[in-house]
């Protein structure tokens, strides 16, 4: 057995930070391997939520009393934290959304409607989540744009040579995932961005899966837009971030109307607020925005390089152990991956695999993972997916392998 990669992390201590892991499911200790769907939350994040509701619950920006000012300061501190997390040039470039999906739709329905016209071309990739497919299809139907798709090879890697062939003077927008939620593939987004910019196109990067695993620098990438979700950053659900270059956000119309996004309202005319508030209509998800800063601080305390090293060790170990199972085929063997392993078992439906694993206390994801076109590319209906986080261990991978042996014994 290959020895574990050395890191400074005390994984058993980290596990104690996550209260949900200390439970049994169907009489077995929980093994949670569904982190690509959402990861678990440390006690510090949970406490940040309760601290807000117990200590300074108030609406933000509009109040002058103590609770409102405290809540506003904490809310805006999270914006500054995300500026640092993404290395954005301006704090105004951080827009709070309800998640990655909301961020993509915001860009499609504002920038897309304002600046894309009939005959303009939009490029996405075969491995996109439905959230980065459907908004662009809707825009194409409305505006008469043309949607093009970057193909992938049998290893689950984008064919960059084919991408170059898709780029033309009509290419106005490229929207691509940083890391595949189904395969774990890390895409060469800097190359994708540079080649798009060479023909004058604007680029959005879906960072939902990349955000907790990779160091991010939107200025170094030269990304025009970058979207992510808090719940995949050890933070709360229902909250995310859209980064956009200031000049682009300034030029975009508002997405929703209502409080906070206005400067002045009369029945004759409304003038809109400056960014970022122009895109943050209504009472926001205050508690979750405040709590996500604690999640960012928690990750910073561990060190992203240490998290990545540990997860890479788990990926290597899981790939080795799963590859020894007869009748198991891993889908997606890209050279550059995060801790995601998707696979199929010969003669066994992925849903049956998931049910039997759950009976043993092992949580994995089964199905098409909201990437049906990608599943069609590989000629399968879906996969079983094990995805890792900082609190997972090699022992849990051993339990997964043992569980899969039981699946085969029961079903074959």
Q: Which residues are catalytic?
A: 370
Residue 135: CB atoms within 10 Å: 20
DSSP codes joined into one string, 371-396: -HHHHHHTT-S-EEEEE--TT--HHH
DSSP codes joined into one string, 194-218: HHHHHTT-EEEEE-TTTTTTS---H
Contacts of 402 (CB under 8 A, 6+ apart): none
Tell me how far apart the alpha carbons of residues 235 and 233 are, in angstroms, rounded to a whole number: 5
DSSP codes joined into one string, 129-194: -GGGTHHHHHHHHHH--EEEEE-B-TTS-B-HHHHHHH--TTEEEEEEESB-TTT-BBP-HHHHHH
Taken in order 206, 211, 212, 213, is the CA torsion positive or negative?
Answer: positive
Distance of CA 49 to CAs 41, 66, 284, 287, 296, Å? 11, 18, 15, 6, 14
Determine which helix (DSSP H) or strand (DSSP E) holds 362, and give its type and residue range.
strand 362-363
Two tokens, residue 362: 């092992």
- Asked if 136 contacts 85 with a C-beta cutoff of 8 angstroms, the reply is no
Two tokens, residue 199: 């023909």
Residue whose structure tokens are 């104690």: 16
Choose among 136, 156, 176, 150: nearest CA to 375: 156
- Asked if 107 contacts 243 with a C-beta cutoff of 8 angstroms, the reply is no
**Pairing state between β 171-177 and 146-150:** unpaired
Choose among 234, 207, 395: nearest CA to 313: 395
């Amino acid at each position: 057995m290959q020895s574990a990669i050395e890191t400074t992390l005390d994984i058993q201590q980290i596990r104690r930070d996550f209260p949900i892991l200390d439970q049994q499911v169907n009489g077995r200790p929980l093994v949670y391997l569904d982190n690509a769907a959402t990861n678990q939350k440390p006690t510090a994040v949970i406490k940040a939520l309760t601290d807000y509701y117990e200590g300074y619950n108030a609406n933000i920006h509009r109040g002058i009393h103590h609770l409102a000012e405290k809540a506003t300061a904490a809310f805006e501190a999270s914006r500054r934290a995300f500026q640092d997390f993404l290395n954005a040039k301006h704090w105004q470039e951080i827009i709070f959304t309800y998640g990655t999906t909301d961020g993509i739709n915001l860009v499609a329905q504002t920038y897309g409607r304002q600046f894309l016209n009939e005959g303009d071309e939009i490029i996405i990739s075969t491995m996109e989540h439905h959230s980065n497919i459907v908004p662009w299809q809707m825009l194409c139907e409305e505006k008469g744009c043309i949607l093009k798709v970057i193909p992938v090879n049998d290893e689950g890697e984008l064919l960059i040579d084919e991408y170059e062939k898709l780029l033309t003077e009509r290419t106005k927008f490229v929207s691509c995932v940083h890391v595949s939620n189904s395969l774990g593939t890390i895409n060469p987004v800097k190359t994708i961005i540079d080649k798009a910019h060479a023909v004058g196109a604007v680029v959005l990067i879906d960072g939902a899966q990349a955000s907790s695993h990779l160091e991010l620098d939107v200025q170094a990438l030269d990304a025009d837009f970058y979207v992510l979700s808090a719940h995949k950053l050890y933070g709360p659900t229902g909250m995310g971030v859209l980064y956009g270059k200031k000049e682009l956000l300034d030029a975009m119309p508002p997405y929703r109307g209502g409080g906070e996004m206005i400067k002045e309202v009369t029945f004759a005319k409304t003038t809109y607020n400056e960014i970022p508030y122009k895109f943050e209509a209504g009472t926001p998800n205050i508690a979750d925005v405040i709590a996500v800063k604690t999640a960012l601080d928690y990750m910073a305390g561990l060190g992203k390089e240490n998290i990545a090293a540990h997860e890479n060790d788990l990926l290597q170990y899981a790939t080795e152990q799963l590859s020894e199972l007869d009748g198991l085929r891993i889908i997606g063997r890209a050279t550059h991956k995060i801790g995601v392993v998707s696979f199929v078992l010969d003669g066994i439906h992925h849903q049956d695999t998931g049910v039997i694993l759950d009976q043993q206390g092992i949580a994995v994801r089964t199905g098409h993972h909201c990437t049906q076109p990608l599943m069609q590319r590989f000629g399968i209906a879906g996969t079983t997916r094990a995805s890792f986080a900082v609190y997972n261990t090699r022992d849990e991978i051993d339990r997964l392998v043992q569980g899969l042996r039981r699946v085969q014994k029961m079903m074959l």
